[in-house]
Amino acid sequence: MTHHFYETCAYFTAARYMRTVEGLATQTFQPTGMKPAYSYIMLALEDRHPQTVTDLATTLGYDRSSIYRMVQRLEQRGLVHLYPVGKSATVDLLPDSAAFLETANQCLSAWGQLTDAKLGPDKAAMTRLLTTNNAKLRS
């Protein structure tokens, strides 16, 4: 019996793809000194700040507890301030975040160029399909 999950299983193919993407993204975002997820938190805060941990988790698709742990690490590095507001925690950028954000934006641009070059015209359609299918699975 031969299994066909190598090409037909959504779990297996998505996980294999993500391992490849994670490796390339980690290399690309290496100048920040942190994993890519930290840059995306900072970039989301650059777009709109302050934000609650819940808002960041919703925007980025992470569990609240994961965002909270990552934000604590960013706070330890002096990049953000985490403070309670009622029953939630709010995150805001600190002045020392400017240099990190400059590097993160450069890495994001390099990531876009790398994926454009490797994926070509399939990138936009694939990204739309992943976004759509993610929404279907989450509902």
pLDDT for 45-63, tens place per residue?
A: 999 999 999 999 999 999 9
CA neighbor of 68 nearest in space, from 89, 93, 46, 42: 89
Q: State which CATH number among 1.10.10.10, 3.40.50.10420, 2.120.10.70, 3.60.20.10 fits the domain covering 33-138.
A: 1.10.10.10
Q: Where are the domains of the chain?
A: 33-138
Rounded to two decimals, the pTM is 0.90
Cis peptide before 36 (omega within 30 of 0): no
The per-residue pLDDT for 38 is 98
Task: Supply the DSSP string of 21-72, one letter for each residue.
Answer: HHHHHHHHTGGGTS-HHHHHHHHHHHHS-SEEHHHHHHHHT--HHHHHHHHH
